[in-house]
Structure 1
Amino acid sequence: MQIAFLTDIHSNREALTAVLAHARARGAQRFVLLGDYVGYGPDPEWTIETIAGLVAEGAIAIRGNHDEAAVGGVNGMNSNAAQAIDWTSRQLSKASLDFLSKLPLSVIDDDRLYVHADASAPHRWLYVVDGEAARHSLEAAETRLVFSGHVHVPAIYGLSNIGKLTPFRPQPGIAIPLLAQRRWLALIGSVGQPRDGDPAAGYALYNDYSAEIVFHRVPYDVETTAQKIRAAGLPAGLASRLFAGH
């Protein structure tokens, strides 16, 4: 089965629309959504309605820190993120807020753990930014595979049975076998606000039969999203950063 992993959509309608079409065209049979559907971007209500529709069709959705903040209030965010969450909370319907409030922090699915941030303490929203953090997250998980978001940069870490951790930087379109003799952490990147210098939306397809994962980048209409961010009165930097992918 081909499983499409999407994360950090951040209310970016154009990016999500492009990614869903790309994944379906490549045979995605199931969607796993790793959190942060809102925040930063201009289309929170549409995004949640779309995610809820996917869940109704069998997708799994995890809660992210921006989703939690939209429901419960800002805590520890920078000024741009806090301003965007305040605006977002006022755009969301009661049904969408209720949907976000009921999302789980993590889900175990066969040999896979789905979590937005670090697996050792999902509620603390710790960033997995290096090998030490990746090891900590992997060692805390009970599963062979961990799929996460939060950092907006795609990466893979493999942990051997003798404790050697190897980082990989995935290249778009190139299949990476998640070999059975290792445990693996896959950081999926971001649909709606990539931060690796590439503005194209990012997601990954995992084949649970061949145990191969392929990361994809999908160009989308960045200008339209940026214009909507400005029109909503959100911080201008949230628009300009989309063009640079940072």
Structure 2
Amino acid sequence: MRYLILSDIHGNVHALDAVLEDATRHACDRVLCLGDLVGYGADPAAVIARVRELTPVGLIRGNHDKVCAGIEPAASFNLLAKLAAQWTHDVLSPTDLEWLAALPKGPLRIESGLEICHGAPFNEDHYIFDRYDAMRSLDSTTARVCLFGHTHVPAIFAPADQPEHWSVNGTDCFRLPAGGQVLANVGSVGQPRDGDPRAAYGVIDTDTFEIELCRVPYDVEGAQAAIRKAGLPEWLAARLARGE
């Protein structure tokens, strides 16, 4: 089974459309969405509509989804995130807010060897940036592969043998070690933070246990123009061009 992996779209429909077009070359069977559909970007309703049309077999909430839906306070958010969350809440329809609020909490088991979460399998809001947090996460799950998001930074963590790695036309490919566990982050569709402004997504084949980390250019200027037109903070537009 080949799964398209989407994470941290953050209301950026320009990036999502580019990803969906590029992903057709992978002939994926099903879609997984790891949360944070909205927040920061200027097109939350369009993103929700696109994701609903995809009918993901695995779809979980992120911290921005909870705050934008009004089911959790924005106490942990910085000022820009709070402003964007309030704007998102105000512009979404009651139907979209209800749908967003009903998204399930991760982790979610997709099949016997595959699990998804937004932050970490032991805490949906926890950030995994280093090997310590990665190993703690792998210790808390029995899944062979755990896919996560939240950091907006692509990463592959394995406790023992590292996955075999190769590159094809700029796409990083990994084959998982036999019998080993792997924690994988495919990066952010709508707000990459690794210095590369291109939209990020991934593909996993659970027959071969290969993961592809993919990047695709998108209309950054269009996304920036939408943010400015919406009256959202300029920093949210500027950061897209820098991938931060």
TM exceeds 0.5? yes
Matching residue of 1:67: 65
Distance 2:15 2:187 in 1: 13
- Contact kept in structure 1, 2:144 and 2:179, CA below 8 Å: no
Q: Give yes or no for contact 1:157–1:168 (8 Å, CA) kept in 2.
A: no
- Aligned mates of 1:207, 1:221 — CA distance in 2: 29
* Residue matched to 2:116: 114
* Cα distance in 1 between the residues matched to 2:94 and 2:58: 21
Q: How does 1:85-100 map to 2 (within 5 A)?
A: 85-100=85-100
Distance 1:76 1:169 in 2: 37
The aligned residue for residue 207 of structure 2 is 209
Task: Identify if the C-alpha distance between structure 1 residues 217 and 128 changes in structure 2 by more than 3 Å, giving closer, same or farther.
Answer: same
Deviation, structure 1 residue 168: 9.4
Counterparts of 2:75 and 2:99, CA distance in 1: 20
Q: 1:73-222, aligned counterparts within 5 Å?
A: 73-106=73-106, 107-110=108-111, 111-122=113-124, 125-160=125-160, 172-222=170-220
1:9 Cα deviation after fit = 0.2
| Superposed displacement of residue 49, structure 1 | 1.4
Deviations 1:71-123 (A, max 9, x none): 1242310000110000000111111111111111121012111100011122x
Matched, 1:33 2:5: no
Query: Which secondary structure does the structure 2 equivalent of 1:38 belong to?
Result: coil
Residues 155, 167 of structure 1: 8 Å contact kept: no
Amino acid at match of 1:188: V
C-alpha contact 2:8 2:37 (8 A) present in aligned 1: yes
Contact 2:155 2:186 (8 Å CA) reproduced: yes
Q: Could you list the structure 1 runs, at least 4 aligned residues long, displaced by more than 4 angstroms after superposition.
A: 166-172
Deviation (angstroms), 1:181: 2.5
Contact 1:69 1:75 in 2 (8 A): no
Across the aligned residues of Structure 1 and Structure 2, the Cα RMSD in angstroms comes to: 1.7
Determine if contact 2:164/2:174 at 8 Å carries over to the other structure. no
Show the counterpart of 2:238. 240
Structure 2 residue runs of 5 or longer lacking an equivalent are none
Measured against aligned partners, the alpha-carbon deviations of 1:194-246 in whole angstroms (never above 9, x if no partner) come to 00000000001111111101111010000010011011110100000000001
Contact 1:153-1:195 at 8 Å conserved across structures? yes
Q: Aligned residues: percent identity?
A: 39
Alignment-mate amino acid for residue 108 of structure 1? R
Output the amino acid matched with 1:112: L
Q: In the aligned structure 2, how far is the partner of 1:170 from the partner of 1:191?
A: 22
SS in 2 for 1:159: coil
The code of the aligned residue for 1:229 comes to I
Please say if residues 201 and 219 of structure 1, whose CA atoms lie closer than 8 Å, have aligned partners that are also in contact. Answer: yes
Deviation at 1:170, TM superposition (A): 8.6
Superposition pairs of residues 226-237 of structure 1, within 5 angstroms: 226-237=224-235
Q: 1:176 to 1:99 in 2, by over 3 A?
A: same
What code does the residue aligned with 1:84 have?
A
Residue 30 of structure 1, CA deviation? 0.9
Pair 1:145–1:91, CA change in 2 (3 A): same
Q: Separation in 2 of the partners of 1:18 and 1:10?
A: 14
Q: Which structure 1 residue ranges, 5 or more long, are not aligned?
A: none
